[in-house]
Chain A
Amino acid sequence: MSMVAPVRRPDLGPERHLVPVTPSTSIPGSISWLHGVRRTRARRRPKAFFALVTAVVMFCVMIAQMLLSVALESGAYEIAHLQSANKEASRSFQQMTQDIDRLSSPQHLALNAEALGMLSNNTPAYLRLSDGAILGAPSSGDGFTRLVGSDGGTLVPNSLLANVPLVTSASLTPTGDAASHAAPAVADPNGAPAGLAPAAPVALAHGLPGLATH
């Protein structure tokens, strides 16, 4: 007998024997082939479903990979942008450090000090605070000399200071405008307005300003 038990199907009418058929012996158009098709279609639906699922998953994976690589690539652009900003910042840092260093050079300080009228005291003397004793031999004004002199600025040259003007040159003297634009007007504890050279020494009302410590 056959491997497959005949199936009684109510819609086909009574007592209809079904011939088991394989696809190779199918006769297109015959009812028995249609039955075979209906049977394999039931088995093919799960396969189609899984294939669809796999395709969708693969599609999602590809989409995810593309999105990740987009994100990574945009990160690369940001890195490149930040690296160039870093380079610019380090260049500015180098520039400003150089400026600070050369403006602190002894030649520049001495020239500016003398341009402002300061003189060097060449007779060292000490005042001992404990008893007010004077050690050494101070002089009144004869011991004060100009270190650098009018053209002495060239004796210990610094080519980095070539175009740096002295603090007393006209372009740098603070005018009223410049004073108001000057960086933070820190309130002088003595009440003198910031940025203006006081005409006369201001009397200290409450002693020297000190730090509040706890």
Chain B
Amino acid sequence: MLIVVAFFAVVVVRLIDIQIVRAAEYDAASAGKMSLPATVFAPRGDITDANGIVLADAILKYDVTMSPRNAREFERGTGENMHKVSTEEAAMEIASITGQKPEDILGAISSSLTANPNADFAYVTRGVGVEQFRALNQLEIPWLYFEQIPSRAYPNGSVAGNLLGYVGSDGTALAGLELTQDSCLAGENGQETYERGADGVRIPGSTVTSVQAKQGSQLRLTIDSDLQWYAQQVLATQAQAQDARFGIAVVLEVKTGKLRAVADYPSVDPNNVDATPEQYRGSYAFAAPYEPGSTMKSLTAAMVVDTGMADHASRVEAPSLMEFANGARVKDSSDHDPNLTLQGVLVESSNVGMSLFGEGLSPDQRFSYMTKFGLGQPTAVGFLGESAGILYDPEQWDNQTYYNMFFGQGLAATAVQMAGAYQAIGNNGIRLPVRLVEECTSPDGAVTAPSLPESVRVVSASAAQEVTGMLEGVVTNGWLGPQLTIPGYRVAAKTGTAEMSAGDGTYSTSFIVSIAGLIPAEDPQYVVLVTLANPSSNSTAAVAPVIHDLMEQVVKQYRIQPSTSNSPYWPVTY
């Protein structure tokens, strides 16, 4: 009797011990074997162009991993079809799908086993697409596993690749708009825990969503992807033909300040970042300031006209070489008739003439105008690595720089900054903030537009129109005119050739050539600016075909009506 009672007492004590005293511990152990936390991936937001065409898409890629210690012969098939598959055969099958060599896979297995005989994890290959994943899955190799990796696809390749940037192999943004707009684009991964049975099926009612996944928002750019492609194509064609070191093409909408195309050569393809050298993976249009050269003369002319000191018919006597009172020497690029009007100074691109006209401005006046034109400060775009350019305070101007700045040497500006300055000239003197991002739309429909600075009144409307008229005269009277003319349209443009710095304070013998254009001249809608660095012909004639074709494409793209009036003739000489 006593034995029975004692036996039952032991059983009861043990029961209490298991069910009550150690309950939590056993519960946790079993839950750890049964329940799994699973990450719910939130897709990254799309990037689209102004018309909704997707430029960057969130996709899932797969990392293929294996368990080296389990990599051995296995049986495939059922019943009569069952046959053994050795590790070598499996490796060959894998390699034929992923494009690797079977030796690499076997080598990976053996090397991880020598490092750690119990190795349970090694990569076979990373970032395979859906087709390869399905093919590998069908092989049913028991020691092969897959991990989902959120990634990005850029369906248009290198179109706008310089602007979009790219993501790393784990899906984090590394460059460009992907990085600066990450707060808009990135989603938040969620997490859920569920319990599963031994066969891997979820036990119903056991799914607990601990963190809700939040999808990323969609980013809409102001870029027109077709125009962007065209700009990149014609720029790259000419840059290769001229063996240029780099090239930039910018199309900016005058009435709104929106960038419709920002083309770089060379440009990165975000699907294949390694194919482009590292220094060209960004955007030189934003990040590379250069001395604007004679394209600066339009701004100087605008300053001169706005202060009332001159108009298109004002006269100056400008020799091709002149030494000024403070010792500065200014030389023109070619000989010309010295009796020039202001229109003529722009047509002949006379440095001496521009300096003579601009001498009447005080340094503070010039600095104030240049700042209002947007020089010396980064644009409102805020692109990754954007440069503010170089604009020194008047106190720092030496005697030569004092005159050089009239014709665009001694200061540096990015292509987008110069396009912004021309936008002010074309927009009746009001400079609008330059924009690249249209808006950010969250999945629930809330739209956020970027906050922009105020527009700036730079010069009066009449001064701006006067300058635009003179720039039209550059096309009708200048030596490059025939190459810039578009039949049926009035075009305004200014060429610019600047010496590139040799890096040691002196100028080298290579040039940066650019042309800035406004079309149509009677009521400018678009600024088109093209730059080539060190073309083999070393003259603005290298750039002319690019800007001509690009302006024609802009006209076709945006259905700009042909001009109904003729260009006025303003005398070049007197």
Contacts and interface: CB of A to CB of B under 8 A. Distances in A.
A107 B234 CA distance: 13
Contacts of A101: 54, 57, 153, 155-156
B157 A107 contact: yes
B236 A155 contact: yes
A80 B60 contact: no
Contacts of A135: 488, 561-562
Interface stretch (B117-125, B197-205, B424-432): B197-205
A124 B237 contact: no
A152 B269 CA distance: 16
Contacts of A104: 53, 155
Contacts of B202: 76, 79-80
Interface string A118-151: 0000111110000000011101000000011100
A79 B488 CA distance: 67
A155 B240 contact: yes
B64 to A, nearest CB: 15
Given A98-B59, A156-B232, A156-B267, A107 B131 contact: no
Given A98-B59, A98-B153, A136-B488, A123 B552 contact: yes
A158 B157 contact: yes
Nearest to A153: B233
A126 B130 contact: no
A102 B53 CA distance: 11
A136 B487 contact: yes
A159 interface: yes
A77 B196 CA distance: 11
Interface in A88-135: 91-92, 94-95, 97-98, 101-102, 104-107, 110, 122-126, 135
A156 B562 contact: no
B240 A73 contact: no
A95 B59 CA distance: 9
Contacts of A92: 130
A75 interface: yes
B556 interface: yes
Interface string A52-85: 0000000000000000000011011101100000
B120 to A, nearest CB: 25
Interface residues of A, number: 40
A148 B154 CA distance: 21
A91 B130 contact: yes
B57 A98 contact: yes
B59 A94 contact: yes
A6 interface: no
B555 interface: yes
Contacts of B60: 91, 94
A80 B158 contact: no
Contacts of A158: 155-159, 269, 271
Interface in B229-263: 229-230, 232-234, 236-237, 240
Contacts of A80: 200-202
B549 A122 contact: yes
B54 A157 contact: no
> Does more than half of chain A's interface fall in helix, strand or loop, or is it mixed?
helix
A160 interface: yes
B531 interface: no
B271 A160 contact: yes
Contacts of B561: 126, 135
Interface in B184-227: 200-204, 225-226
A161 interface: yes
A136 B562 contact: yes
Contact of A107 (B57, B129, B159, B488): B159
Contacts of B555: 124
A73 B204 contact: yes
Interface residues of B, number: 47
A126 B225 CA distance: 24
Given A106-B225, A124-B552, A157-B269, A147 B155 contact: no
A94 B59 CA distance: 7
Contacts, number: 125
Interface in A34-64: none
B59 to A, nearest CB: 5
A72 B204 contact: yes
B5 interface: no
B237 A152 contact: yes
A135 B563 CA distance: 9
B562 A94 contact: no
Nearest to A76: B204
A21 to B, nearest CB: 33
B159 A156 contact: yes
Contacts of B204: 72-73, 75-76, 79
Interface in B398-434: none
Given A76-B204, A135-B488, A157 B156 contact: no
Interface string A10-46: 0000000000000000000000000000000000000
A145 B487 CA distance: 16
A156 B486 CA distance: 26
Contact of A156 (B129, B131, B236): B236
B6 interface: no
A7 B518 CA distance: 129
Contacts of B131: 95
A107 to B, nearest CB: 6
B157 A97 contact: no
Contact of B158 (A73, A77, A124, A157): A157
A94 to B, nearest CB: 5
A79 B57 CA distance: 29
Interface string A155-179: 1111111000000000000000000
A147 B157 CA distance: 18
Nearest 5 Cβ contacts at the A-B interface: A158-B157, A137-B487, A101-B155, A136-B488, A106-B229
Interface of A: 72-73, 75-77, 79-80, 91-92, 94-95, 97-98, 101-102, 104-107, 110, 122-126, 135-137, 139, 147-149, 152, 155-161
Given A80-B200, A160-B153, 18 more contacts: A76-B201, A98-B57, A101-B153, A101-B156, A105-B155, A105-B157, A110-B233, A122-B549, A126-B562, A137-B562, A152-B237, A155-B237, A156-B232, A156-B233, A157-B272, A158-B271, A160-B154, A160-B157
Interface of B: 53-54, 57, 59-60, 129-131, 133-134, 153-159, 200-204, 225-226, 229-230, 232-234, 236-237, 240, 267, 269, 271-272, 275, 486-489, 549, 552, 555-556, 561-562
25 contacts: A72-B204, A76-B204, A80-B200, A94-B60, A94-B130, A101-B57, A101-B156, A107-B156, A110-B233, A122-B549, A122-B552, A123-B488, A124-B488, A136-B489, A137-B487, A139-B487, A147-B233, A148-B233, A149-B237, A155-B232, A156-B229, A156-B233, A156-B236, A158-B155, A158-B271
